[in-house]
Structure 1
Amino acid sequence: MADTPPDRRTRVQGRPVDAFPALAPETERGTVRRITVVGEEVLHRPCRPVTAFGTPELARLIDDMFATNHTAEGAGLAANQVGADLRLFVWDITDDWGVRHVGHIANPVLDETPPAARRLLEEPEGCLSVPGPYRPLARPDHAVVRGLDRHGDPLVIEGHGYFARCLQHESDHLDGRLYLDRLPARARRSALREMADRQEEVFARRAANAARLG
């Protein structure tokens, strides 16, 4: 596996690195899990805080979430999307400026952006737990989340553009909210109809990716 050139175009846990594998180490270690789908109860209630840090169980969950996110061709994944009732999400995403961001955060809290400083950006948004459809959704183009890493150490992650959208989307998941819940009723209904039509195709592609990952 080739590393990226040493131009510090990758940020791991919010910090720039000189090189990083094309396949994150967590992805290689992890086992692909089933992704929960809209309507399942675990997706529609707030998750419990992570209280046990530095454990093999937490490390295994993070690795599995990376592997699952990779095979589903996702940008980020929350723990309740693999059935784990914990305030935790991971990401592996390339932003609008070509910078790759890789990491995880537990017990994240989004900073409040003052209305005067808030710039909304409307772009298509999808969700691995709503397989298939994308719908336009306005979100602030800047986000900061504060939380803890797998060892319980403080972590601050800042994102702009697409990465900011990812941080907000995954934080929503941990509060029991899907992007569908932010849509007008008509757009939500049309997205659910499209999901019903396309989900088998999406599931088949994920299964093929998982088989390739091994």
Structure 2
Amino acid sequence: MAEKEILPFGDPVLRKKSKPVREITPKILRILDDMVDTLYAEEGRAGLAAPQIGILRRLIVMDCGEGLIELIDPEILEMDGEQTGPEACLSFPGYTGIVKRAKYVKIKTLTRTGETVYLEGHDYLARCIQHEIDHLNGILYIDHVEEGQLYLNQSQQKADLMAALKLSWK
């Protein structure tokens, strides 16, 4: 198990569609373990999709506040309602955008043991599921952000300013 580098916005892999997981092998389980390590190493994290670490497979790990959820070949079966709120992404550090999503989703996915399970998500969990499944389809949250609704976080602004000040002293 190892922490992996997260691909930044602009990397062409983030715009590609992921391939299904045909078989749950030790290699797939190792990728999931690496994704978990990577997710928990990041501050302010909620989810991570395999394309974000350069692997075009339909794998997601999430922790939206209620513990670890692993999704293998997830498929949205139902969506209902509407919510609008802030989203961020590990591939876009320092930015938040206002995004409209379904308030409820029901998905079908596989577990580590290959068992098919159904998961329902409401509110924040529904938002996380939709965000991460979008990654598997080469869609980024900024594709959903309405014009003028993408913001640079204050803490990032401060970090950028400090870096600029340090450079100007040299």
The TM-score, its normalising length taken from structure 1, stands at: 0.68
Q: Does 1:180 align with 2:151?
A: no
Deviations, residues 144-180 of structure 1 (Å, cap 9, x unaligned): 1112122322021111111110011001000000100
Q: Which runs of 5+ in 1 are unaligned?
A: 1-29, 95-99, 203-214
Mapped to 1, the partners of 2:18 and 2:113 lie a distance apart of 19
Residue 34 of structure 2 aligns to a residue whose secondary structure is: helix
CA contact (8 A) 1:31 1:67 kept: yes
Residue 157 of structure 1 aligns to a residue whose secondary structure is: strand
CA drift of 1:185 comes to 4.1
CA contact (8 A) 1:105 1:155 kept: no
Letter in 1 for 2:123: G
Alignment partner, residue 123 of structure 1: 85
Say which of 87, 95, 105 aligns to 2:58.
87
The TM-score, its normalising length taken from structure 2, stands at: 0.84
Alignment partner, residue 103 of structure 1: 69
Residue 48 of structure 1 aligns to a residue whose secondary structure is: coil
Report the number of matched residues: 158
Mapped to 1, the partners of 2:103 and 2:78 lie a distance apart of 13
Q: Does 1:39 align with 2:10?
A: yes
Alignment partner, residue 68 of structure 1: 38
Mapped to 1, the partners of 2:40 and 2:67 lie a distance apart of 14
Alignment of 1:130-141 (within 5 A): 130-141=92-103
Mapped to 1, the partners of 2:89 and 2:7 lie a distance apart of 11
Mapped to 1, the partners of 2:117 and 2:21 lie a distance apart of 14
Alignment partner, residue 28 of structure 2: 58
Residue 68 of structure 1 aligns to a residue whose secondary structure is: helix
Residue 80 of structure 1 aligns to a residue whose secondary structure is: helix
Mapped to 1, the partners of 2:146 and 2:46 lie a distance apart of 24
Could you say what the CA RMSD is over the residues aligned between the two structures, in angstroms?
2.2
Residue 84 of structure 1 aligns to a residue whose secondary structure is: coil
Report percent identity of matched pairs. Answer: 36
Mapped to 2, the partners of 1:143 and 1:135 lie a distance apart of 21
CA drift of 1:56 comes to 1.6
Alignment partner, residue 110 of structure 2: 148
Find runs of 4+ consecutive structure 1 residues off by over 4 angstroms: none
